[in-house]
Amino acid sequence: MSVLIVGSTALDSIKTPKAENPRLLGGSASHAAVAASFFSPVKMIGVVGDDFPKRYLQLYRRHGIDLAGLQVKPGKTFHWSGEYEVNLNNRRTLLTELGVFESFTPHLPDTHKATPFVLLANIAPSLQHHVLDQMANTKFVVADTMDLWLNIALPDLLRLLKRIDGFVLNDSEAHQLTQEDNVFAALRKIHKLGPKYVIIKKGSHGSILSGPRGIFICPAYPLRKVCDPTGAGAPFIGGLMGNPAARGPVDKNIRRAMIHGSVVASFCCEGFGLNRTTRIKRAHIDQRVKELEKLTKF
């Protein structure tokens, strides 16, 4: 079964004290789509400018990603530039050029409108709504978000929560949304806003799922060296959504799907942009999943 993924498709220029990485392939849809592609066929919805490097289109294709829903518009691709400090915890944005992304309206090809699994990766909630408006017969719809939308588009986001099956956010966003410091108290409040499944991401501390079968404490894969931690939420949720799509009933499979997402995110953190993720094979993922089984057994 396919996964439809909508989100941002961007070029990221990332500076660290040791290196400059100009115009890497980035954006929530790119990360999520490549991650999901290890498990399922992926249909990506997004927009790029006519400056978008051909090698990145080839990269998508190498991962079997269906690009019928990727618009190529005259103008510049969304470009973000940021600089990291030595310890990687502090990052500052140097530049944000929205380019063709500013007027993006996702259009779904007819072939895409009945895709059962839908990932609304991080993007304005109004665009997430717009994608759902075009769809029928979905089986499992999950949305990701970021603090920006809590700040400037909360009513849209709250409306969205009534329309989706699963919602993913990080711990500080969960606190912002519910005013609860405690993750488990926050989960309870978020369920009341609509979604049956809620996942709170805690970075290197793993993530927590709350769903019909209760709580699941999902570990992060232990990494001794993190190269680029930002945006690891997108491959996590991409891997998760690819995985149950390939494996049947969500309720039964979502825990193992989270573990797979967590592992794909761990590879992502080991390189800049998609550098590491695009160099792994499914066998590397399966190996780390097995390791996580051992690392958590008692």
For a second copy, the closer of residues 147 and 181 by Cβ is: 181
For a second copy, the closer of residues 39 and 60 by Cβ is: 39
> Among 120, 115, 174, which residue's Cα sits nearest to residue 142?
120
Say how far apart CA 127 and CA 56 lie, in whole Å: 24
Q: Which residues bind a second copy (CB under 8 A)?
A: 87-89, 181-185, 188, 202, 204-206, 208, 214-219, 222-226, 255-256, 258-259, 293-298
Q: In what order do the strands lie in the sheet with 197-201?
A: 65-73, 42-49, 3-6, 117-120, 140-144, 166-170, 197-201, 207-211, 214-218
Q: How far is the CB of 125 from a second copy (least distance, A)?
A: 28
Q: How far is the CB of 216 from a second copy (least distance, A)?
A: 6
Look up residue 110 and give its DSSP letter: G
Strands 91-97 and 140-144: unpaired
Q: How far is CA 277 from CA 182, 206, 264, 283, 293, in A?
A: 33, 19, 7, 13, 21
Q: How far is the CB of 151 from a second copy (least distance, A)?
A: 21
For a second copy, the closer of residues 68 and 185 by Cβ is: 185
For a second copy, the closer of residues 10 and 257 by Cβ is: 257
Q: Is the Cα dihedral 12, 275, 145, 2 positive or negative?
A: positive
* Contact in structure between 196 and 202 (CB atoms under 8 Å): no
For a second copy, the closer of residues 192 and 224 by Cβ is: 224
Hey, how many other C-beta atoms are within 10 angstroms of the C-beta on 150? 18
For a second copy, the closer of residues 7 and 239 by Cβ is: 239
Say how far apart CA 136 and CA 6 lie, in whole Å: 16
For a second copy, the closer of residues 94 and 215 by Cβ is: 215
Q: How far is the CB of 224 from a second copy (least distance, A)?
A: 4
* Contact in structure between 63 and 33 (CB atoms under 8 Å): yes
Q: How far is the CB of 282 from a second copy (least distance, A)?
A: 18
Q: Is the Cα dihedral 53, 56, 57, 62 positive or negative?
A: positive
Say how far apart CA 119 and CA 237 lie, in whole Å: 8
Q: How far is the CB of 187 from a second copy (least distance, A)?
A: 9
Say how far apart CA 253 and CA 247 lie, in whole Å: 7
For a second copy, the closer of residues 107 and 188 by Cβ is: 188
Q: How far is the CB of 290 from a second copy (least distance, A)?
A: 12
Q: How far is the CB of 298 from a second copy (least distance, A)?
A: 4
